Amino acid sequence: MFRNILIPTDGSPLATIAVDAGVTFAKEVGANVTILAVTEPYHIFTVDAEQLAGTRSDYEALARKHAADMLASLARKAREGGVACQTEQVSNHEVYRAIIDMATQKGSDLIIMASHGRSGVGTLMLGSVAAKVLAHSTIPVLIYRAKT
């Protein structure tokens, strides 16, 4: 049923748990996985401490290295678990759009991703990448939620 699963991650603890769960699911159904990291481009106006600390090129190099290291570790773990795994890294202001575009490009038939489960004002103020993927994707999405 599912042959190509896209698993986006931001490297957070919950997202890492969701990657592990997605890889386990992929192994059970005999699917391949692509683990995706989307970095946000440098913004001149930001509250992100990493972007305030240096130049655009410093931030972008650090973001690429962090994502590459995280992806290498997750891919190694997936392969050790017997799951064929590719990694992708893209930069996009609209993280949800990058996820959907990559799923389409890779021919994914399922997206598995974490949701921190924010509701109310938290979602209105911060937005929810998972909610946007759910709203705009034509590919099925399985959401791994934080246990409260």
The CATH number assigned to the domain holding 125 equals 3.40.50.620
Domain count, the chain: 1
pTM: 0.85
Q: What is the pLDDT of residues 31-87, one digit of tens each?
A: 999 999 999 887 655 555 554 556 778 888 888 999 999 999 999 999 999 999 999
Residues 6 or more apart whose CB falls under 8 angstroms from that of 103 comprise 6, 111, 137, 139
Strand partners, 144: 114
Q: What is the pLDDT of residues 83-113, one digit of tens each?
A: 999 999 999 999 999 999 999 999 999 999 9
Is residue 32 within 8 Å of residue 5, measured between CB atoms?
A: yes
Domain residue limits at 16: 4-145
